[in-house]
Amino acid sequence: MRFLLRLASLVALAVAVIAGTVDSIQSVAASAVVITPMGDAWQDLNPGSLESLQSSMAYYVHPGFYTVALQWLMLQPAFVVFLVLSLLLWMIGYKKPPVAGRFAA
């Protein structure tokens, strides 16, 4: 399970780096700071899954949760969302080193 969490963390980190790179390229091209919100990035990649998530959240959880939490998340920069997700997955899958050390009996 730890391997899968660390692998998912690596994938999220790669997506964050790609999103940050795209934002920096657009910023240089526009000569102004361009930061893509998560909602816009998701809408560009797969609009059907975003609409399905929105309807599922409104039906199964609560419409108020969607308007507060999910809307707030969709307004955050995409690279930040994936960086935080990568960090959380890495922290969950982290293996603590043994207390006694490597050569303890």
Classify residue 11 as left (phi > 0), alpha (psi -120 to 50) or beta.
Answer: alpha
pTM: 0.80
Q: How wide is the angle at C-alpha 37 spanned by C-alphas 84 and 66, nearest 5°?
A: 80
d(C-alpha 13, C-alpha 4), whole Å: 14
pLDDT band (50, 70, 90) for residue 80: very high
Tens digit of each residue's pLDDT (9 = 90 or more) over 3-62:
999 999 999 999 999 999 999 999 999 999 999 999 999 999 898 998 888 888 888 887
HEC states along 53-104?
HHHHHHHHHCHHHHHHHHHHHHHCEHHHHHHHHHHHHHHHCCCCCCCCCCCC
The pLDDT, as a whole number, for residue 105 is 59
Tokens of 52: 């399905």
The pLDDT, as a whole number, for residue 61 is 83
